[in-house]
Structure 1
Amino acid sequence: MSEPSAEAADRSGRPPTLTERTIEAVREGIRNGTLVPGELYSVYRLADELGVSRSPVRDALLRLAETGMVAFERNRGFRVVLPGARELTEIIAVRLALEVPAAQRAAVRATAADRAALQNEYEAMQVSVTAGDETAFMMHDQRFHGLLLELAGNAHVTRIIENLRDATRLVGTSTIRTSRSLEDVYQEHLPILDAIQQGSPSTAGAAMRRHLESTGRLLLQEAARKSDTNLKSNALWNDLVGHPPVGE
Protein backbone atom coordinates (compact mmCIF):
# COMPACT_ATOMS: atom_id res chain seq x y z
CA MET A 1 0.00 0.00 0.00
CA SER A 2 1.27 3.46 -0.88
CA GLU A 3 2.04 6.16 1.67
CA PRO A 4 -0.81 8.59 2.43
CA SER A 5 -0.90 11.20 -0.32
CA ALA A 6 -1.03 14.96 -0.09
CA GLU A 7 -3.79 14.69 -2.71
CA ALA A 8 -6.12 13.84 0.17
CA ALA A 9 -6.27 17.54 1.04
CA ASP A 10 -9.62 19.03 1.89
CA ARG A 11 -11.27 20.89 -0.99
CA SER A 12 -11.08 24.07 1.07
CA GLY A 13 -7.29 23.97 0.69
CA ARG A 14 -6.69 22.93 4.30
CA PRO A 15 -3.80 20.44 4.59
CA PRO A 16 -5.10 16.93 5.35
CA THR A 17 -4.69 15.50 8.82
CA LEU A 18 -2.87 12.20 9.31
CA THR A 19 -6.24 10.56 9.91
CA GLU A 20 -7.61 11.91 6.62
CA ARG A 21 -4.50 10.85 4.73
CA THR A 22 -4.79 7.39 6.24
CA ILE A 23 -8.45 7.14 5.25
CA GLU A 24 -7.52 7.99 1.67
CA ALA A 25 -4.69 5.43 1.70
CA VAL A 26 -7.04 2.68 2.92
CA ARG A 27 -9.66 3.62 0.35
CA GLU A 28 -7.01 3.53 -2.37
CA GLY A 29 -5.91 0.10 -1.13
CA ILE A 30 -9.50 -1.13 -1.51
CA ARG A 31 -9.74 0.39 -4.99
CA ASN A 32 -6.51 -1.14 -6.31
CA GLY A 33 -6.96 -4.52 -4.65
CA THR A 34 -4.15 -4.23 -2.10
CA LEU A 35 -6.74 -4.67 0.65
CA VAL A 36 -8.92 -7.69 -0.06
CA PRO A 37 -12.37 -8.29 1.49
CA GLY A 38 -12.35 -10.94 4.20
CA GLU A 39 -8.60 -10.87 4.87
CA LEU A 40 -7.47 -9.99 8.38
CA TYR A 41 -5.11 -7.00 8.59
CA SER A 42 -3.07 -5.68 11.47
CA VAL A 43 -3.51 -2.09 12.62
CA TYR A 44 0.15 -2.07 13.71
CA ARG A 45 1.41 -3.32 10.35
CA LEU A 46 -0.75 -0.81 8.48
CA ALA A 47 0.67 2.02 10.59
CA ASP A 48 4.22 0.84 9.82
CA GLU A 49 3.49 0.57 6.09
CA LEU A 50 2.06 4.09 6.00
CA GLY A 51 4.79 5.54 8.19
CA VAL A 52 2.40 7.00 10.75
CA SER A 53 1.59 6.29 14.38
CA ARG A 54 -1.14 3.85 15.37
CA SER A 55 -3.43 6.59 16.72
CA PRO A 56 -4.41 8.16 13.35
CA VAL A 57 -4.72 4.68 11.84
CA ARG A 58 -7.19 3.66 14.56
CA ASP A 59 -9.10 6.92 14.11
CA ALA A 60 -9.21 6.41 10.34
CA LEU A 61 -10.45 2.84 10.66
CA LEU A 62 -13.11 3.87 13.18
CA ARG A 63 -14.42 6.43 10.69
CA LEU A 64 -14.36 3.87 7.88
CA ALA A 65 -16.13 1.37 10.12
CA GLU A 66 -18.96 3.90 10.49
CA THR A 67 -19.46 3.72 6.70
CA GLY A 68 -19.44 -0.09 6.77
CA MET A 69 -16.23 -0.37 4.74
CA VAL A 70 -14.23 -2.15 7.46
CA ALA A 71 -14.98 -4.15 10.58
CA PHE A 72 -12.83 -4.64 13.67
CA GLU A 73 -12.06 -7.97 15.33
CA ARG A 74 -11.18 -7.46 18.97
CA ASN A 75 -7.45 -7.81 19.67
CA ARG A 76 -6.89 -9.19 16.17
CA GLY A 77 -7.18 -6.42 13.57
CA PHE A 78 -9.66 -5.42 10.92
CA ARG A 79 -11.20 -6.71 7.71
CA VAL A 80 -12.49 -4.99 4.60
CA VAL A 81 -16.21 -5.75 4.39
CA LEU A 82 -17.99 -6.73 1.19
CA PRO A 83 -21.48 -5.25 1.63
CA GLY A 84 -24.47 -7.58 1.72
CA ALA A 85 -27.81 -7.17 -0.01
CA ARG A 86 -29.37 -4.91 2.60
CA GLU A 87 -26.28 -2.71 2.85
CA LEU A 88 -26.15 -2.40 -0.96
CA THR A 89 -29.80 -1.39 -1.13
CA GLU A 90 -29.37 1.15 1.66
CA ILE A 91 -26.37 2.62 -0.16
CA ILE A 92 -28.32 2.99 -3.40
CA ALA A 93 -31.19 4.62 -1.50
CA VAL A 94 -28.78 7.18 -0.04
CA ARG A 95 -27.14 7.80 -3.42
CA LEU A 96 -30.54 8.37 -5.01
CA ALA A 97 -31.47 10.81 -2.27
CA LEU A 98 -28.25 12.79 -2.71
CA GLU A 99 -27.12 12.41 -6.33
CA VAL A 100 -30.42 13.00 -8.12
CA PRO A 101 -30.86 16.52 -6.68
CA ALA A 102 -27.11 17.08 -7.11
CA ALA A 103 -27.43 16.36 -10.84
CA GLN A 104 -30.38 18.75 -11.04
CA ARG A 105 -28.40 21.47 -9.29
CA ALA A 106 -25.36 20.81 -11.48
CA ALA A 107 -27.44 21.35 -14.62
CA VAL A 108 -28.31 24.84 -13.36
CA ARG A 109 -24.85 25.78 -12.09
CA ALA A 110 -22.58 24.34 -14.81
CA THR A 111 -20.45 26.83 -16.72
CA ALA A 112 -18.97 26.24 -20.16
CA ALA A 113 -15.73 25.12 -18.47
CA ASP A 114 -17.64 22.69 -16.24
CA ARG A 115 -19.47 21.21 -19.22
CA ALA A 116 -16.16 20.82 -21.06
CA ALA A 117 -14.64 19.02 -18.05
CA LEU A 118 -17.58 16.59 -17.94
CA GLN A 119 -17.27 16.03 -21.68
CA ASN A 120 -13.56 15.27 -21.27
CA GLU A 121 -14.26 12.63 -18.61
CA TYR A 122 -16.98 11.09 -20.75
CA GLU A 123 -14.64 10.88 -23.73
CA ALA A 124 -11.94 9.38 -21.51
CA MET A 125 -14.47 6.72 -20.48
CA GLN A 126 -14.98 5.92 -24.17
CA VAL A 127 -11.22 5.54 -24.67
CA SER A 128 -11.15 3.14 -21.70
CA VAL A 129 -14.02 1.14 -23.20
CA THR A 130 -12.19 0.80 -26.50
CA ALA A 131 -9.00 -0.25 -24.71
CA GLY A 132 -10.86 -2.62 -22.39
CA ASP A 133 -9.19 -0.87 -19.46
CA GLU A 134 -11.57 -1.44 -16.56
CA THR A 135 -9.38 0.31 -13.99
CA ALA A 136 -9.10 3.50 -16.05
CA PHE A 137 -12.80 3.38 -16.84
CA MET A 138 -13.77 3.21 -13.16
CA MET A 139 -11.44 6.12 -12.39
CA HIS A 140 -13.04 8.33 -15.06
CA ASP A 141 -16.52 7.16 -13.99
CA GLN A 142 -15.75 8.33 -10.45
CA ARG A 143 -14.36 11.64 -11.69
CA PHE A 144 -17.48 12.21 -13.79
CA HIS A 145 -19.73 11.73 -10.77
CA GLY A 146 -17.33 13.75 -8.62
CA LEU A 147 -17.51 16.72 -10.97
CA LEU A 148 -21.31 16.69 -10.77
CA LEU A 149 -21.21 16.57 -6.99
CA GLU A 150 -18.71 19.42 -6.80
CA LEU A 151 -20.95 21.47 -9.09
CA ALA A 152 -23.80 20.93 -6.63
CA GLY A 153 -21.63 22.77 -4.10
CA ASN A 154 -21.91 20.51 -1.02
CA ALA A 155 -18.56 19.12 0.10
CA HIS A 156 -20.16 16.88 2.74
CA VAL A 157 -22.31 15.18 0.11
CA THR A 158 -19.24 14.68 -2.07
CA ARG A 159 -17.36 12.93 0.74
CA ILE A 160 -20.37 10.77 1.65
CA ILE A 161 -20.82 9.58 -1.92
CA GLU A 162 -17.10 8.89 -2.33
CA ASN A 163 -17.23 6.61 0.71
CA LEU A 164 -20.37 4.85 -0.50
CA ARG A 165 -18.91 4.30 -3.96
CA ASP A 166 -15.82 2.74 -2.43
CA ALA A 167 -17.99 0.51 -0.25
CA THR A 168 -19.70 -0.92 -3.34
CA ARG A 169 -16.73 -0.80 -5.72
CA LEU A 170 -15.82 -4.49 -5.46
CA VAL A 171 -19.38 -5.64 -6.07
CA GLY A 172 -19.82 -3.08 -8.83
CA THR A 173 -16.71 -4.31 -10.61
CA SER A 174 -18.02 -7.87 -10.52
CA THR A 175 -21.28 -6.81 -12.20
CA ILE A 176 -19.24 -5.51 -15.14
CA ARG A 177 -17.78 -8.97 -15.53
CA THR A 178 -21.07 -10.85 -15.17
CA SER A 179 -24.08 -8.62 -15.91
CA ARG A 180 -23.08 -5.72 -18.14
CA SER A 181 -20.22 -4.39 -20.21
CA LEU A 182 -18.14 -1.24 -19.88
CA GLU A 183 -19.99 -0.02 -22.96
CA ASP A 184 -23.32 -0.45 -21.15
CA VAL A 185 -22.17 1.65 -18.20
CA TYR A 186 -20.64 4.23 -20.53
CA GLN A 187 -23.89 4.63 -22.45
CA GLU A 188 -25.85 5.20 -19.22
CA HIS A 189 -23.85 8.40 -18.65
CA LEU A 190 -24.72 10.00 -22.00
CA PRO A 191 -28.26 11.15 -21.05
CA ILE A 192 -26.82 12.71 -17.87
CA LEU A 193 -24.16 14.56 -19.85
CA ASP A 194 -26.65 15.71 -22.50
CA ALA A 195 -29.00 17.08 -19.83
CA ILE A 196 -26.16 19.03 -18.20
CA GLN A 197 -25.06 20.38 -21.57
CA GLN A 198 -28.63 21.50 -22.27
CA GLY A 199 -29.08 22.99 -18.80
CA SER A 200 -32.12 20.84 -18.05
CA PRO A 201 -32.32 20.02 -14.31
CA SER A 202 -35.38 17.75 -14.51
CA THR A 203 -33.88 15.69 -17.33
CA ALA A 204 -30.53 15.48 -15.53
CA GLY A 205 -32.20 14.24 -12.36
CA ALA A 206 -34.27 11.66 -14.23
CA ALA A 207 -31.20 10.39 -16.11
CA MET A 208 -29.21 10.09 -12.89
CA ARG A 209 -32.08 8.19 -11.26
CA ARG A 210 -32.23 5.70 -14.15
CA HIS A 211 -28.47 5.18 -13.99
CA LEU A 212 -28.38 4.63 -10.23
CA GLU A 213 -31.43 2.35 -10.24
CA SER A 214 -29.89 0.28 -13.03
CA THR A 215 -26.69 -0.02 -11.01
CA GLY A 216 -28.65 -0.87 -7.86
CA ARG A 217 -30.64 -3.63 -9.51
CA LEU A 218 -27.47 -5.23 -10.87
CA LEU A 219 -25.73 -5.00 -7.51
CA LEU A 220 -28.67 -6.76 -5.86
CA GLN A 221 -28.72 -9.45 -8.54
CA GLU A 222 -25.03 -10.06 -7.93
CA ALA A 223 -25.64 -10.28 -4.18
CA ALA A 224 -28.45 -12.77 -4.82
CA ARG A 225 -26.22 -14.83 -7.09
CA LYS A 226 -23.53 -15.08 -4.42
CA SER A 227 -25.92 -15.64 -1.50
CA ASP A 228 -26.70 -19.08 -0.12
CA THR A 229 -30.02 -17.78 1.19
CA ASN A 230 -33.27 -17.10 -0.65
CA LEU A 231 -32.77 -13.39 -1.13
CA LYS A 232 -36.02 -11.48 -1.58
CA SER A 233 -34.40 -8.61 -3.44
CA ASN A 234 -37.66 -7.27 -4.86
CA ALA A 235 -39.19 -6.82 -1.40
CA LEU A 236 -35.94 -5.40 -0.04
CA TRP A 237 -35.68 -2.87 -2.85
CA ASN A 238 -39.33 -1.86 -2.54
CA ASP A 239 -38.97 -1.42 1.22
CA LEU A 240 -35.81 0.71 1.12
CA VAL A 241 -35.93 2.45 -2.25
CA GLY A 242 -39.63 2.48 -3.04
CA HIS A 243 -39.41 1.35 -6.65
CA PRO A 244 -39.29 -2.46 -7.16
CA PRO A 245 -36.60 -3.60 -9.58
CA VAL A 246 -37.86 -4.39 -13.08
CA GLY A 247 -37.82 -7.92 -14.42
CA GLU A 248 -37.56 -9.86 -11.17
Structure 2
Amino acid sequence: MGHLTQRNLNTTRERLRDQVAHHLRAALISGELRPGQVYSAPGLAEDFGISATPVREAMLDLAREGLVEPVRNKGFRVTEVNERDLDQYTEIRTLIEVPMIGRITRSASRQDLEALRPVAEEIVRAARDHDLIGYLDADRQFHLSLLALAGNDRLVETVGDLRKRSRLYGLTALDERDQLLPSAEEHLELLNLMLAGDAEAAEHCMTRHLGHVRSLWAHSTQDHIPAQPSRPLRPATR
Protein backbone atom coordinates (compact mmCIF):
# COMPACT_ATOMS: atom_id res chain seq x y z
CA MET A 1 0.00 0.00 0.00
CA GLY A 2 2.52 2.48 -1.16
CA HIS A 3 4.81 4.28 1.28
CA LEU A 4 3.16 2.78 4.36
CA THR A 5 3.51 -0.85 3.33
CA GLN A 6 5.37 -3.14 5.73
CA ARG A 7 8.72 -1.55 6.63
CA ASN A 8 11.93 -2.84 8.13
CA LEU A 9 11.93 -0.24 10.87
CA ASN A 10 14.73 0.04 13.41
CA THR A 11 13.37 -0.65 16.89
CA THR A 12 15.37 2.09 18.64
CA ARG A 13 12.69 4.58 19.69
CA GLU A 14 14.37 7.76 18.46
CA ARG A 15 15.45 6.10 15.22
CA LEU A 16 11.96 4.64 14.75
CA ARG A 17 10.40 8.06 15.17
CA ASP A 18 12.68 9.50 12.49
CA GLN A 19 11.98 6.62 10.12
CA VAL A 20 8.22 6.98 10.54
CA ALA A 21 8.46 10.73 9.93
CA HIS A 22 10.45 10.06 6.75
CA HIS A 23 7.86 7.61 5.42
CA LEU A 24 5.01 9.96 6.30
CA ARG A 25 6.72 12.78 4.37
CA ALA A 26 7.02 10.40 1.42
CA ALA A 27 3.30 9.63 1.65
CA LEU A 28 2.55 13.37 1.74
CA ILE A 29 4.63 13.99 -1.38
CA SER A 30 3.02 11.14 -3.32
CA GLY A 31 -0.50 12.19 -2.35
CA GLU A 32 -1.11 8.96 -0.43
CA LEU A 33 -1.84 11.14 2.60
CA ARG A 34 -4.31 13.66 1.25
CA PRO A 35 -4.52 17.40 1.96
CA GLY A 36 -7.42 18.24 4.27
CA GLN A 37 -7.85 14.64 5.42
CA VAL A 38 -7.56 13.65 9.08
CA TYR A 39 -5.50 10.59 10.06
CA SER A 40 -5.19 9.03 13.49
CA ALA A 41 -1.90 7.88 14.99
CA PRO A 42 -3.35 4.44 15.95
CA GLY A 43 -4.66 3.93 12.41
CA LEU A 44 -1.33 4.80 10.81
CA ALA A 45 0.49 2.72 13.43
CA GLU A 46 -1.55 -0.30 12.38
CA ASP A 47 -0.42 0.25 8.79
CA PHE A 48 3.20 0.36 9.97
CA GLY A 49 2.75 -2.62 12.28
CA ILE A 50 4.09 -0.72 15.31
CA SER A 51 2.73 0.99 18.41
CA ALA A 52 1.03 4.37 18.17
CA THR A 53 3.61 6.25 20.28
CA PRO A 54 6.40 6.70 17.68
CA VAL A 55 3.78 7.52 15.04
CA ARG A 56 2.26 10.20 17.27
CA GLU A 57 5.73 11.60 17.99
CA ALA A 58 6.55 11.63 14.25
CA MET A 59 3.28 13.41 13.49
CA LEU A 60 4.14 16.04 16.10
CA ASP A 61 7.45 16.57 14.30
CA LEU A 62 5.54 17.08 11.05
CA ALA A 63 3.17 19.47 12.83
CA ARG A 64 6.13 21.62 13.88
CA GLU A 65 7.14 21.72 10.22
CA GLY A 66 3.66 22.89 9.23
CA LEU A 67 2.91 19.71 7.26
CA VAL A 68 0.02 18.58 9.46
CA GLU A 69 -2.04 20.12 12.25
CA PRO A 70 -3.44 18.42 15.38
CA VAL A 71 -7.19 17.84 15.51
CA ARG A 72 -8.43 17.35 19.07
CA ASN A 73 -9.53 13.78 19.84
CA LYS A 74 -9.18 12.73 16.19
CA GLY A 75 -5.58 12.88 15.02
CA PHE A 76 -3.81 15.08 12.52
CA ARG A 77 -5.08 16.90 9.44
CA VAL A 78 -2.79 17.22 6.43
CA THR A 79 -2.41 20.94 5.80
CA GLU A 80 -3.45 22.40 2.47
CA VAL A 81 -1.31 24.86 0.52
CA ASN A 82 -3.21 27.32 -1.66
CA GLU A 83 -2.06 29.57 -4.48
CA ARG A 84 -1.75 32.60 -2.20
CA ASP A 85 0.50 30.64 0.16
CA LEU A 86 2.71 29.51 -2.71
CA ASP A 87 3.00 33.04 -4.09
CA GLN A 88 4.02 34.37 -0.68
CA TYR A 89 6.54 31.60 -0.04
CA THR A 90 8.10 32.22 -3.46
CA GLU A 91 8.26 35.97 -2.88
CA ILE A 92 10.01 35.55 0.47
CA ARG A 93 12.46 33.02 -0.94
CA THR A 94 13.23 35.32 -3.87
CA LEU A 95 13.89 38.27 -1.56
CA ILE A 96 16.26 36.16 0.52
CA GLU A 97 17.95 33.74 -1.85
CA VAL A 98 18.56 35.77 -5.00
CA PRO A 99 20.76 38.48 -3.41
CA MET A 100 22.44 35.86 -1.22
CA ILE A 101 23.44 33.90 -4.31
CA GLY A 102 25.16 37.02 -5.62
CA ARG A 103 26.94 37.59 -2.32
CA ILE A 104 28.04 33.96 -2.04
CA THR A 105 29.30 33.98 -5.63
CA ARG A 106 31.60 36.87 -4.73
CA SER A 107 32.79 35.46 -1.39
CA ALA A 108 32.79 31.65 -1.44
CA SER A 109 35.90 29.68 -2.26
CA ARG A 110 36.05 27.55 -5.38
CA GLN A 111 36.64 24.51 -3.18
CA ASP A 112 33.44 25.08 -1.18
CA LEU A 113 31.38 25.54 -4.33
CA GLU A 114 32.87 22.49 -6.06
CA ALA A 115 32.01 20.42 -2.99
CA LEU A 116 28.35 20.90 -3.93
CA ARG A 117 28.72 19.45 -7.42
CA PRO A 118 28.04 15.83 -6.35
CA VAL A 119 24.81 17.00 -4.70
CA ALA A 120 23.74 18.90 -7.83
CA GLU A 121 24.49 15.82 -9.91
CA GLU A 122 22.49 13.69 -7.48
CA ILE A 123 19.46 15.94 -8.03
CA VAL A 124 19.67 15.30 -11.78
CA ARG A 125 20.22 11.57 -11.27
CA ALA A 126 17.23 11.31 -8.96
CA ALA A 127 15.02 13.15 -11.46
CA ARG A 128 16.11 10.81 -14.26
CA ASP A 129 15.59 7.74 -12.06
CA HIS A 130 12.17 8.97 -10.87
CA ASP A 131 13.42 8.85 -7.29
CA LEU A 132 11.15 11.52 -5.82
CA ILE A 133 12.30 11.32 -2.22
CA GLY A 134 15.94 11.29 -3.31
CA TYR A 135 15.20 14.29 -5.54
CA LEU A 136 13.74 16.38 -2.73
CA ASP A 137 16.40 15.31 -0.22
CA ALA A 138 19.23 16.26 -2.58
CA ASP A 139 17.48 19.48 -3.65
CA ARG A 140 17.08 20.54 -0.03
CA GLN A 141 20.70 19.66 0.79
CA PHE A 142 22.00 21.63 -2.18
CA HIS A 143 20.07 24.83 -1.52
CA LEU A 144 20.59 24.91 2.23
CA SER A 145 24.28 23.96 1.99
CA LEU A 146 24.77 26.69 -0.60
CA LEU A 147 23.11 29.30 1.61
CA ALA A 148 25.14 28.08 4.59
CA LEU A 149 28.26 29.40 2.84
CA ALA A 150 27.04 32.89 3.78
CA GLY A 151 27.55 32.00 7.45
CA ASN A 152 24.04 33.00 8.61
CA ASP A 153 22.45 30.06 10.44
CA ARG A 154 19.13 31.86 11.02
CA LEU A 155 18.78 32.56 7.31
CA VAL A 156 19.29 28.87 6.54
CA GLU A 157 16.67 27.92 9.14
CA THR A 158 14.18 30.39 7.67
CA VAL A 159 14.57 29.10 4.12
CA GLY A 160 14.47 25.52 5.36
CA ASP A 161 11.14 26.19 7.06
CA LEU A 162 9.73 27.83 3.92
CA ARG A 163 10.77 24.84 1.85
CA LYS A 164 8.99 22.43 4.19
CA ARG A 165 5.79 24.45 4.11
CA SER A 166 5.83 24.73 0.32
CA ARG A 167 6.45 21.07 -0.45
CA LEU A 168 5.15 19.73 -3.75
CA TYR A 169 1.78 18.02 -3.57
CA GLY A 170 1.33 15.54 -6.40
CA LEU A 171 5.02 15.37 -7.26
CA THR A 172 4.33 11.97 -8.79
CA ALA A 173 2.21 13.50 -11.56
CA LEU A 174 4.96 15.98 -12.45
CA ASP A 175 7.50 13.19 -12.55
CA GLU A 176 5.29 11.14 -14.86
CA ARG A 177 5.17 14.11 -17.27
CA ASP A 178 9.00 14.47 -17.14
CA GLN A 179 8.72 18.02 -15.81
CA LEU A 180 11.28 17.63 -13.02
CA LEU A 181 14.44 17.17 -15.10
CA PRO A 182 14.67 20.76 -16.46
CA SER A 183 14.40 22.12 -12.91
CA ALA A 184 16.98 19.59 -11.72
CA GLU A 185 19.49 20.62 -14.38
CA GLU A 186 19.25 24.27 -13.32
CA HIS A 187 21.22 23.38 -10.18
CA LEU A 188 24.27 22.51 -12.26
CA GLU A 189 23.80 25.63 -14.36
CA LEU A 190 23.67 27.77 -11.22
CA LEU A 191 26.75 26.14 -9.76
CA ASN A 192 28.74 26.63 -12.97
CA LEU A 193 27.83 30.32 -13.10
CA MET A 194 28.93 30.78 -9.50
CA LEU A 195 32.20 28.99 -10.16
CA ALA A 196 32.75 31.32 -13.12
CA GLY A 197 32.34 34.25 -10.73
CA ASP A 198 29.38 35.70 -12.65
CA ALA A 199 27.28 36.95 -9.74
CA GLU A 200 24.73 38.77 -11.90
CA ALA A 201 24.08 35.75 -14.12
CA ALA A 202 23.86 33.52 -11.04
CA GLU A 203 21.21 35.80 -9.55
CA HIS A 204 19.23 35.69 -12.79
CA CYS A 205 19.51 31.90 -12.85
CA MET A 206 18.26 31.66 -9.27
CA THR A 207 15.33 33.95 -10.05
CA ARG A 208 14.43 31.78 -13.04
CA HIS A 209 14.81 28.61 -10.99
CA LEU A 210 12.44 29.82 -8.27
CA GLY A 211 9.95 30.88 -10.94
CA HIS A 212 10.27 27.46 -12.53
CA VAL A 213 9.62 25.76 -9.20
CA ARG A 214 6.58 27.99 -8.63
CA SER A 215 5.13 26.98 -12.01
CA LEU A 216 5.60 23.32 -11.07
CA TRP A 217 3.64 23.95 -7.87
CA ALA A 218 0.87 25.55 -9.90
CA HIS A 219 0.60 22.55 -12.24
CA SER A 220 0.72 20.23 -9.23
CA THR A 221 -2.09 21.92 -7.30
CA GLN A 222 -4.29 22.53 -10.35
CA ASP A 223 -3.89 19.36 -12.37
CA HIS A 224 -2.99 16.54 -10.00
CA ILE A 225 -5.49 13.99 -8.74
CA PRO A 226 -3.79 11.87 -6.05
CA ALA A 227 -3.17 8.30 -7.07
CA GLN A 228 -5.20 5.67 -5.24
CA PRO A 229 -3.03 3.33 -3.13
CA SER A 230 -3.70 -0.37 -3.56
CA ARG A 231 -5.27 -0.44 -0.10
CA PRO A 232 -6.45 3.08 0.78
CA LEU A 233 -5.11 4.64 3.96
CA ARG A 234 -7.85 4.89 6.51
CA PRO A 235 -8.67 8.37 7.70
CA ALA A 236 -9.65 8.92 11.30
CA THR A 237 -13.28 8.26 12.14
CA ARG A 238 -15.17 11.50 12.20
**Which TM-score applies when normalising by structure 1?**
0.66
Q: Distance in 2 between matches of 1:226 and 1:51?
A: 31
1:73 aligns with 2:67: no
* Counterpart secondary structure, 1:170: coil
In the other structure, the counterpart of 2:116 is 118
Query: What's 1:88 paired with?
Result: 86
Q: Match for residue 131 of structure 2?
A: 133
Q: What is the CA-CA distance between 1:166 and the residue it aligns to?
A: 2.4
Structure with greater proportional helix content? 1
2:233 alignment counterpart: none
Do the aligned residues in 2 keep the contact of 1:175 with 1:219 (CA within 8 Å)?
Answer: no
- Shift of the 141–78 alpha-carbon distance from structure 1 to 2, 3 Å rule, reads same
Q: Which has the higher contact order (CA 8 A, sep 6+)?
A: 2
d(CA) in 2 for partners of 1:217, 1:129: 17
5+ long unaligned stretches in structure 2: 46-50, 226-238
Secondary structure of 1:169's partner? coil
Counterpart residue identity of residue 25, structure 2: R
Q: Cα RMSD over matched residues?
A: 3.5
- Give, in angstroms, the shift of residue 83 of structure 1: 0.9
How do 1:1-248 residues align onto structure 2 when only pairs under 5 Å count? 3-4=13-14, 28-33=22-27, 36-38=33-35, 39-42=37-40, 49=52, 51=54, 60=61, 63-64=64-65, 67=66, 69-171=67-169, 173-174=171-172, 176-177=174-175, 180-225=178-223
- The residue type equivalent to 2:27 in the other structure is G
1:71-121 residue CA offsets vs partner (Å, 9 max, x unmatched): 232332222213111111111112112221221222123223312222111
Range with greater deviation from structure 2 (139-148 or 29-38) = 29-38
- After superposition, give the CA deviation of every residue in 1:142-193 in whole Å (9 maximum; x if it has no partner): 2111211211222222222222222332327246236653321122223311
Call closer, same or farther: CA 1:180–1:85 in 2, change over 3 Å.
farther
Distance change in 2, residues 1:26/1:116 (3 Å) = same
Q: Deviations over 1:33-76 (max 9, x none)?
A: 27823442346888x65659x8x879756633xx4x22232332
CA contact (8 A) 1:107 1:201 kept: yes
Assess if the C-alpha contact under 8 Å between 1:4 and 1:50 holds in 2.
no
Determine helix, strand or coil for the equivalent of 1:71. Answer: strand
CA distance change for structure 1 residues 219 and 170 in 2, over 3 Å: closer, same or farther? closer
Instruction: Provide the secondary structure at the position in 1 that maps to 2:124.
Output: helix
Residue-pair matches, total: 206
Q: For the residues of structure 2 that align with 1:27 and 1:127, how far apart are their CA atoms? A: 24
Structure 2 residue aligned with 1:230 = none
Mapped partners of 1:100, 1:27: distance in 2: 31
Specify whether residues 153 and 81 from structure 1 end up closer, same or farther in structure 2 by C-alpha distance, changes over 3 A only. same
Give 2:26's aligned amino acid: N
TM-score by length of 2: 0.69
1:36 partner SS: coil
Deviations 1:7-55 (A, max 9, x none): xxxxxxxxxxxxxx97x77763443227823442346888x65659x8x
| SS of residue in 2 equivalent to 1:152 | coil
Q: 1:222 and 1:177 mapped to 2: Cα distance?
A: 10
Look up the SS of the partner of 2:70 in the other structure.
Answer: strand
